[in-house]
Structure 1
Amino acid sequence: MKYMIIIVVVLVGIMMTLLVGIPKSPRIIPPANPEDRERLAEGVVKKVLIVGGGLAGMSAALELAERGYQVTIREADTALGGVYMQTKPVRKLGRTFMVDGGMQAWFHNFHNARDIIRRLGVEDNFHRWEVHDLVYKNYQPERMYSHGIFPLNLAGMIYRSPNLNILEILFWLRCAWDFINYNHDTNFKRWDAITFDEYMDMFDIHRGFYDIVLEPGMKASYQDKAMLSAAEMFQFSHMFYVSNPKADYRDLAKMNQATAIMTPWADRLKSLGVRIELETSVGSLVFDKHGQIVTDTEHPSERFDHVVLASGLDGTKTILQNSLQKLKPEDKITRSRLEKVLKNHLTKLPLAPPFKILTVWFDKQLEGSYKPDVVQTPSFPPITFVAQYHVLKEDFALWANQSGGSVFMFHMFAWEQGEIPDDKIWNFIAPSVREIFPEIFERGFKVLAYNVGGSDKYPSYAKGLEKHRPTVKFPKEYGFPNLAVAGNWLHVDYPTALIERPISTGREAANQILLSDHVRQASLVVTHSHGPGHFQYV
């Protein structure tokens, strides 16, 4: 009997592999100019202005500085990191805390982001976040994790679920087929014209799997899920669920993100001669008669050979609009080119709803049986997920151990609740918190302090927008030979999401400069464009 069970399991595994396919390894995009020199020739001086000190700008700066370029980063804010990774000092309870602008996970498929961690030598500042906890109003709590080879890892997740069973999964096979046979080359042509909710309705997909697995992923994308493009959702799922058995493996920083990576990254850049100027705005660019950018209007005495706009969608739009207004009447060609860039692309790309991050210091810690370090909360708007920062972060743990208190970070993506004063947000979300962690109210936790952060600068991934997204090299296509752009709002020819987007496009922007100067480009490692299935859509 024992051998019969083993044979049956092996046969089922073989059949599933034949049907579903085998995940494909990441692919390498090699340099387009492998025969060129590795860095600028001795005595050659090339100056680059990078506007924006977020992940895209710092990624571009690292590639260029390592190859001998003189790089200047100008960041309008008081800290590096942009909308994803900014950490700022906050004075609370008689001491200064370094508070992140949200918790970021570094997923297995963030190949270029994780390459930065390795190059900086800060691997020990991160640890594995093993289990994915979720809590719902109408389902039992889930603890999801992926172990084993595909597709047995997915079967294991279903088997362990208190809410899903194999018979129910038969109802979402139509949806699974599209996930498994993902093809990045045709994904947006097929699905970008509809929302993922419309896709679910179109094929009458089983709601249980949607509620339990898919909706939390949609809400973690910073978007209004009612407007999220179906194509973006397929790409998101490919990155984090289907493309690799380890796709949902993720690491978290052990301490605040400035200490974990942003400060070491800045220190590396400075050691390479990069000049980092914080609280330094760039309002517009100065062009010569050939359409070359020579500097920015705030620093007219400086001259640059190349410029990278890594200032986010809104910042890039503002800088180019201001640049257009400052052109002289005789600059007709440059004016025409800028007008086309704005008309064809930037003005057609909106921002997503803002997100808010509420950090709360309490006088007590959870002691009950339900106290996950991080929990997603898809059924409890406006809260997207909750992180116990005193458990996750060493610097917050020190305060918690000394005081007996706790620090919770409430992430609220796609905030559409209107203008609620910062000092009223805790009272506004408290009813939802009561349902997630009733112990906080049953034991009378006292709020000692709180801090509100967030951003309204995140790009929208609503349906129908992909056709307006330009590539990193679009400025050259419009006649601006020494301008490149980088950021999470651009089109890329490979699957990418969240912090991997700006880091990858930053490297792409650097590559455009390297190619023009006959310096060997940097390779990119990217998630494979095809899912594991045998029948990718064409």
Structure 2
Amino acid sequence: MVSSASQRKKSDQAAKSEREVAIIGGGIAGLTCALRLSERNYEVTLYEQDAMLGGQLSSKKSGKDGMYHDVYTHLFCDWYVNFWRIVKDDLKIKREDVFEPRFSVKLLLDPRGSRDSNNGAPKYVELKNPTTAQNVIDNLSSGALPTPDMFLVGFTLLDLVSQPFSSSILQQQSLNGFLYSRPYATEDCADLHNTILNEIWCTSSSDTSAAAYKDFVKHSLGSRGLPFAWLLRGSLEEKLIKPWRDKLEKVCKVEISAPVDKVELADDNKIELTLANGKKATHANIVLAVPAPELANLVMKGRPERTIVHRIPELSELQRMRTANILVVTVVFNERLPDIPREHVGLAASRGYLTFIDISQLWTDLSEKPRTVLVLAASDASHYPAGDDKLWGHLMLQELARYLPSVEPGDEWGDPKSNIDYSKSLAQNNRTHPLFLNDMNSEQLLVEPYYPEQLQNVFFAGDFCRNDVNMATVESAVLSGLHAAHELVKKTDGKSDISVALCDLPSSAQFAAAKLVLLPLAYAALAWSAVNAGVRDLASKDPEESLTPLSMLALIPPRYLADMVVSLENLAVALLSRHEPSGSNWLLQQASGAVARRLLAASDRLRDAAPEGSADTQRTFALMTDVLRAMGTRISEPRVAPAERVSPRTTRMETSGLLRGSGRYRPNFDYARRHRVKP
């Protein structure tokens, strides 16, 4: 007969074994998950294939002075609420001591069109997050684009977040398609958006999912914080990852340089791992927090009946996810360079969409040394030859020298005649740290943190997992780690106390109302831009090939009326939406509903408001109303943008329907990226 004490002991042992987990991947998603599980007394083993933790936020030592070189220099946005909560509450880091506030970024204009007008010096323009009236005014006068086009750049973002489209509709539309479907947009406006996307997320607007970008912009425009972002005053390893690792090593088993080669489902409902060195380990639960290409390999590798994809077949589509590696060169100069700002700088129309930041003005350890240290990055690695890091690194420096005359790269990497200390500089191809691309397919491929109906002890984390942000960011990775930990705790304990902080964002109705208020200004800006284009054509004697300024001016009234009809309906839909924030009281909800119903009836009342007269007059007015409604409906539907068509040309398409712009942000090379190849 088995004693009750023996039964309790076995039960306790079983419960304890259920609270054991292996986390594969030591990036931010895996570190977040490990942090939350370990503080709840879970037995956590963290496997990381590299010698350093952090993933895309990792660093490596190199050079004669043993300097840390970050994978990328990350901007940490002010609205990353879950990331900042970990920094403050768990890592005990005071933000103001370790991070430097940033209020803007800068664009360095192509010297072929700007240096003559700036007395030979590099010409920078400054852009700020348009969340305050002063920032909006500063952007309008920045010189990045003519004032009306700059207004439209911001207005298109507001228009995007105000759209009540379901995700399924936006999934069928790229950001470029959305921009080209706006009846007020200009080519300069679309080109600047494309430049920003390429330089930050390594993907063009014609490839970027409008749905994913809408989620990111909603958080950015909804943030009331100043500054808009923060930068570390040192390397990621020293300032962020080491404190995180020190905390975890007290309560977790951290295995570095331990790549996992295979994940299989064992007979006893456990998970069997095979490491690259041939060793095997068995765990009750696992969290897969590796990059998308590696995850696609792990879920399919092993004996067919024991693979994860055998139980969750849809994960085979992970192979369709696209990633990109950012080329990064840390450039240590022998001297201080002139005309280098503190902000992140994007090089307009540069080869490979180059950006740089001067970390010698940022890092505490470098600020007192008499030399400039730039981190130069190419968001589109396909513009540079793969294989020889020194070759593409030197080509990037040559492109930088075209914008900054003070840069002297020499004839090759290591040339002693240059003003660069190549012995301390480093080129990193980052093929092992790919960036997930939020392209048109990505919205349909996002991974859930847990599939309880198919597999109860496997969980997923990473910036490719579905969450409130969706766009590949640090906050997205943190959220995925929290979601995976929440699901695991809920499975083992029946409930979870792991919380996710939510951003205090304006509602969809507020965004829609703001768009409606500013709509007349948008069409006034379009008219202004058309006049500017006409003056430019007269001066250059080069008339528009697609849509003349005069034709555009004639189309503005019907376009405005059509857009007004749709905007009123969008506001009504937003007011009636059940997905609005739940904090509003009953009276406010009733009032909103009444307003919404009146807005939905506004279009029909156009007919009732028609002047009395002949039947022909009333029929004509009704026909105009129907046409405007049809035009408005068409405006909201996805439309293929010129850049998405089969033609590989990068030049302006003659049927774009947009005013031709200055071309300031169009690359000067004859190349059109259609689909990035997985590294």
Structure 1 length-normalised TM: 0.80
Q: CA deviation at 1:169?
A: 5.4
| Cα offsets for 1:313-356 (capped at 9, x unmatched) | 1111111111344x4xxx6x977424x1333x32332x223211
Letter aligned with residue 337 of structure 1? R
1:155 aligns with 2:136: yes
**Pairs within 5 Å for 1:180-199:** 180-181=161-162, 186=165, 188-199=167-178
Residue 86 of structure 1 aligns with an amino acid whose one-letter code is: S
Alpha-carbon distance in 2 for matches of 1:357, 1:504? 27
Cα offsets for 1:338-394 (capped at 9, x unmatched)? 4x1333x32332x223211111111111134x5344212242122431011211112
- Among 122, 125, 144, the residue aligned to 2:127: 144
Which residue is 1:353 aligned to? 324
Please list the CA deviations of residues 137-170 of structure 1 after superposition, one character each: whole Å capped at 9, or x if unmatched: 25763222358xx562553233442245654456
Q: 1:381 aligns with which of 351, 375, 393?
A: 351
Supply the AA of the counterpart residue of 2:381: W
Q: 2: CA distance between counterparts of 1:112 and 1:522? A: 12
- Greater RCO, 1 or 2 (C-alpha within 8 Å, sep 6+): 1
Q: Deviations over 1:101-154 (max 9, x none)?
A: 11011101111111121120122211212332222225763222358xx56255
1:466 corresponds to: 443
Show CA shifts across 1:441-478 (max 9, x none): 4998512112111433322221133112221113x24x
Change (3 A) 1:187 1:112: farther
Q: Is the CA contact (8 Å cut-off) linking 1:107 and 1:247 kept in structure 2?
A: no
TM-aligned CA distance change 1:286 to 1:132, over 3 Å: same
**1:266 equivalent in structure 2:** 245
SS in 2 for 1:409: strand
- Show the 5 A alignment for 1:439-458: 439-441=406-408, 446-449=419-422, 450-456=425-431, 457-458=434-435
CA distance in 1, matches of 2:224, 2:470: 16
> Is 1:127 aligned to residue 100 of structure 2?
yes
**Mapped pair 1:289 → 2:267:** yes
Say whether 1:364 aligns with 2:335: yes
How much has 1:277 moved relative to structure 2? Answer: 0.6
- Compared CA separation, residues 130 and 260, structure 1 to 2 (3 A): same
Q: How far does residue 488 in structure 1 lie from its aligned partner after superposition?
A: 1.1
Q: Is the 8 A contact 1:363 1:406 kept in 2?
A: yes
Number of equivalent positions: 474
Residue matched to 1:434: 401
Query: Deviation string for 1:236-295 (max 9, x for gaps)?
Result: 32233x222338611111111111110000011112x211111101111232336x3333
Aligned residues of 2:333 and 2:372 also touching (Cα < 8 A): yes
User: Is the partner of 1:200 in helix, strand or coil?
Assistant: helix
CA distance in 2, matches of 1:334, 1:85: 28
Query: How big is the shift at 1:307?
Result: 0.6
CA contact 1:383–1:410 (8 Å) conserved in 2:
no
Quickly say closer, same or farther: Cα 1:365–1:225, change in 2 above 3 A: farther
Which is higher, the Rg of structure 1 or of structure 2?
A: 2
Provide the secondary structure at the position in 1 that maps to 2:47: strand
Q: Specify the alignment match of 1:111 in structure 2.
A: 81
Structure 2: distance between partners of 1:423 and 1:268:
37
- The match for 2:257 is 279
Aligned partner of 1:498 among 473, 476, 486: 473
2:216 maps to what in 1?
236
- Measure the CA separation in 2 of the matches of 1:389 and 1:416: 26
Q: 1:297 to 1:315 in 2, by over 3 A?
A: same
The alignment yields a C-alpha RMSD, in angstroms, of 3.1
Distance in 1 between the 2:426 and 2:409 partners?
23
Q: 1:216: Cα distance to partner?
A: 1.5
Instruction: Output the CA distance in 2 between the equivalents of 1:301 and 1:214.
Output: 47
Is 1:320 the equivalent of 2:299? Answer: yes
Q: Does 1:178 align with 2:159?
A: yes
> Corresponding residue for 1:17?
none
SS at match of 1:455: coil
- Cα distance change, pair 366–151 in 1 and its aligned pair in 2 (3 A): closer
Rate the CA distance shift 1:335–1:469 in 2: closer, same or farther, 3 A.
closer
Contact 2:27-2:57 at 8 Å conserved across structures: yes
1:260 partner amino acid = K
* Equivalent in the alignment of 2:526: none
| C-alpha distance in 1 between matches for 2:74 and 2:29 | 16
Whole-angstrom CA distance in 1 between matches of 2:38 and 2:169: 40
| Partner Cα distance (2:248, 2:427) in 1 | 30
CA contact (8 A) 2:360 2:374 kept: yes
The answer as to whether partners of 2:264 and 2:273 remain within 8 angstroms in 1 is yes
Which residue is equivalent to 1:413? 379
Partner of 1:337: 311
Which residue among 517, 520, 525 is the counterpart of 2:501? 525
Q: Deviations over 1:184-224 (max 9, x none)?
A: xx453232223222322333522333444663144301324
Q: Give the helix-richer structure, 1 or 2.
A: 2
Contact residue 463 and residue 470 of structure 2 kept, 8 A: no
User: 2:460 matched to which residue of 1?
Assistant: 485
Deviations 1:12-56 (A, max 9, x none): xxxxxxxxxxxxxxxxxxxxxxxxxxxx99x94521100000111
Question: 1 CA distance for matches of 2:364 and 2:151?
Answer: 44
Task: Identify which range, 214-223 or 380-389, moves more after superposition.
Answer: 214-223
Q: Cα gap change, 1:234/1:454 in structure 2, threshold over 3 Å: closer, same or farther?
A: farther
CA contact (8 A) 1:495 1:526 kept: no
Change (3 A) 1:439 1:174: closer
1:75 aligns with 48
Distance in 2 (alpha carbons) for counterparts of 1:179 and 1:433: 34
Secondary structure of the equivalent of 1:76? coil
Contact preservation (8 Å) 2:299, 2:308: no
Structure 1 letter corresponding to 2:104? V
- TM-score, length-normalised on structure 2? 0.64
1:127–1:253 CA contact under 8 A, matched in 2: yes
Q: Using the alignment, how far apart are the partners of 1:377 and 1:347 within structure 2?
A: 33
Are 1:223 and 2:203 counterparts? Answer: yes
Structure 1: runs of 5+ lacking an equivalent: 1-39
Change (3 A) 1:88 1:334: closer
The equivalences for 1:11-160 within 5 A come to 44=16, 46-82=19-55, 84-90=56-62, 92=63, 94-118=64-88, 119-123=90-94, 124-137=97-110, 141-146=124-129, 150=131, 152-160=133-141
Identity of aligned residues (%): 15
Map of 1:15 onto structure 2: none
Inter-partner Cα distance in structure 1 for 2:398 and 2:280: 56
Distance in 1, matches of 2:188 and 2:279, equals: 60
Q: Judging changes above 3 Å, is the alpha-carbon distance between structure 1 residues 471 and 366 closer, same or farther for their aligned structure 2 residues?
A: same
Residue equivalent to 1:16: none
User: Where does residue 253 of structure 1 map in the other structure?
Assistant: 232
In structure 2, give the amino acid aligned to 1:523. Answer: S
